[in-house]
Structure 1
Amino acid sequence: MTEDDIEAVCAVRVRGWQWAYAGLVPQHFLDGLDVEEEAQRRRELFTKAPAEVVNLVAERAGSVTGWAAVGPYRDETTGRRDDALAELYALYVMPEQVGTGIGRALMTASLDLTRERGYPGMRLWVLEHNVRARRFYERAGFAPDGAEEAFELAGVLVPEVRYARSL
């Protein structure tokens, strides 16, 4: 991903959230997502991101159709990074491209990259009730490791489960 991709990546992220999380998080939150606001926030994050964090894009016919971000595992309870494990921070595909292999290609690239960097395993967090995403991650070799937590989104607690796999 380059800085020039930020706007397109934000469109993927916003549309991905609105499609994937409908019925799982408050609808008024999803309706309030804005690509421009997300792009402004993401530009700041992009320039400050440590070198260990990698953003990958998938393109089809010259347009960004998917995005994934990987890096060192973030332990939310301690606020520290765990450089011994990788984390898949995000993987989103434009809704109309779901099922075309883009998500699988981004997952493969993410796993290959972290394996090449010497990580022995990868973790990710997924919404507990996001059956489609959980099935996708399980097909990629991930399994729940027993960790669960909830985060607050627009005043509602949203439960997540952690998945892990060896590399």
Structure 2
Amino acid sequence: MTSLTVRRMTLADCDRVSAIRVRGWQHAYRGLMPQAYLDGLSATADAERRRAGFARRAAGVVDLVAERDGTVLGWAACGPYRGGGAAAGDAELYAIYVDPAHLGTGIGRALLGASLERCAACPRVLLWVLRDNAPARRFYERAGFRPDGAQELFEVGGVRVPEVRYVRTPTG
């Protein structure tokens, strides 16, 4: 087995990234979101949206993939913070998803590390995580993120799901 490589995502990665994202949602959010919504997610539709928006990504947004032996196994996206309640120049970790068959193998840590490197000049890095997603919260807490008290409701499939915001300085 070769070592893991983290690199910038290309247009050719869209199908695989979408498959990872959809399987990631279906795995991580089972019991936290309506099952009918999760069952209805389509990697094909997600890939079409991803390809259509790829060239129009906002300035500063970085999409990364982690691959081993030529197979993309994870994806992360980060960039400028998109919401209120943050200082100028703050960054946001938008997403990290790892193929569920490869959870616990260091791919998520590698993607998080590479994302934080790209945000090193920012005063803080923020992210939103489902309040009841205990494994994700533990992952981020082990990496030095802490909840900052901000909460919001995220609507999915007609159900309001609570999210909490986490914050970290780039150096931890």
TM-score by length of structure 1 reads 0.93
CA distance in 1, matches of 2:76, 2:30: 20
The yes-or-no answer on 1:137 pairing with 2:101 is no
- Correspondence for 1:3 among 11, 17, 25: 11
- Structure 1 runs (4+) deviating above 6 angstroms are none
RMSD between aligned residues: 1.4
Q: Identity of paired residues, percent?
A: 59
Q: CA contact under 8 A between 1:57 and 1:67: conserved in structure 2? A: yes
Deviation at residue 41 of structure 1 after TM alignment: 0.8
Aligned to 1:73: 81
Deviation at residue 43 of structure 1 after TM alignment: 1.2
**CA 1:83 to 1:66, structure 2 compared with 1: closer, same or farther past 3 Å?**
farther
CA distance in 2, matches of 1:83, 1:105: 27
- Correspondence for 1:91 among 93, 96, 100: 96
Deviation at residue 51 of structure 1 after TM alignment: 3.1
- Correspondence for 2:49 among 41, 55, 58: 41
Deviation at residue 157 of structure 1 after TM alignment: 0.4
* Structure with greater helix share of residues: 1
* Structure with greater strand share of residues: 1
CA distance in 2, matches of 1:10, 1:40: 9
TM-score by length of structure 2 reads 0.91
